[in-house]
Amino acid sequence: MRERLEYFAAWSVMKGMGLLPRPLARGVGAAFARFAYWVRAPLRRAADFNLKLAFPDWNESQRRETIRKMVRNIGWMGAEFTQFPKYNRENIDRVIVLDGNENYLEALGRGKGLLFLTGHMGPWELSSFAHAVYGYPCHFLARPIENRRVDALVNQYRSLSGCRVIDKNDSARAMFRILRGGGAIGVLADQNTSLDEGVFVPFFGIPACSTSGLARLALRTGAAVVPGYAFWDDAIGKYRLHFEPAVELERTEDEEKDVIVNTAKFMKVVENFARAHPDQWLWVHKRWKTRPPGEQPIYPF
């Protein structure tokens, strides 16, 4: 019964907001995000503490303004998600434009597959969806939502433009197959990882346990790793989906060392984004939660 009620609530919100004009939907989404953030004290504590770690020279006013815009952008992304059924090749450029797509195409043209390095940057759900509308669908990893019916509904929207979801819990074989076929896979690689799945590399100068899977996959398949992310550009009043040149990977006879070096390069991409657009990265996540064995926790809560 609970699963059905959760599904009905999710379906009602997505369908209802999807019927609204986009500007109104974005306003509603921002208001809902503000409310959700206000009632979740752990999120508020994590965001403020993370910003203190990343930008120790900032004052309280700077942190507060960054968080305000971050919450707004999350709400906007939620609203954009409900608008997905409306977007097509004729109108997508009113919402988001491509920047540096030649970097994506050059790397894809190498024929060994492409790993789309991204994270919880800007409207991350819109990034792969819009790129597929432009004609470049990909597969991407996603952790299943506990409610299977809600998970199916969300993945239905994600797949409307031709993208396909790979279950993050059962992904290795599928990813090798896609890359061998010259396909593209999007990977959100910016969150805290457990000790058995990650390596410690600098993030804002602080060791952060980061997924090693992206580097291992790239090294073993020869796939290009292309940073890509979207962000809100006030100057044009639209999102900009930006692709950088493929990361030059370190390759020696010591794979474990190469994994650490290349993972550090990937995390530098995320850090550069967060420094350039601090209001458009997800600060509510405890990015430095996992610590090296024997080291005290960073978070006091």
* Dihedral over Cα of 205, 244, 257, 198: its sign: positive
CB neighbour list of residue 136: distance below 8 Å, 6 or more residues apart? 101, 104, 184
* Dihedral over Cα of 247, 253, 259, 261: its sign: negative
Tokens of 73: 């952008």
Tokens of 151: 């998970």
Residue with tokens 């540096």: 100
For residue 114, name the pLDDT band (cuts at 50, 70, 90): very high
Tokens of 298: 């960073």
Element (H, E) at 13: helix 2-19
Residue 93 phi/psi, 5-degree rounding, is -75, -10
Least confident of 75-79, 113-117, 142-146, 160-164: 142-146
Report yes or no: 138 and 182 within 8 Å, Cβ to Cβ: no
Q: What is the pLDDT of residue 37?
A: 97
Give the whole-angstrom CA distance, residue 250 versus residue 265: 9
Report yes or no: 218 and 115 within 8 Å, Cβ to Cβ: yes
How far apart, in Å, are the Cα atoms of 232 and each of 83, 95, 278?
A: 17, 10, 12
Q: What DSSP state is assigned to residue 144? A: P
Residue 80: name the closest of 10, 28, 5 by CA: 28
Q: What is the pLDDT of residue 172?
A: 84
* Dihedral over Cα of 32, 38, 41, 43: its sign: positive
Average pLDDT, the chain: 96
Q: What is the pLDDT of residue 4?
A: 86
CB-CB neighbours of 51 under 10 Å = 20
Amino acid at 144: P
Q: What DSSP state is assigned to residue 228? A: E
Amino acid at 268: K
pLDDT in tens, 220-276: 999 999 999 999 999 999 999 999 999 999 999 999 999 999 999 999 999 999 999
CB-CB neighbours of 131 under 10 Å = 27
Q: What is the pLDDT of residue 69?
A: 98
Report yes or no: 230 and 130 within 8 Å, Cβ to Cβ: yes
pLDDT in tens, 123-173: 999 999 999 999 999 998 888 899 999 999 999 999 999 999 998 776 788
Q: pTM to 2 decimals?
A: 0.95
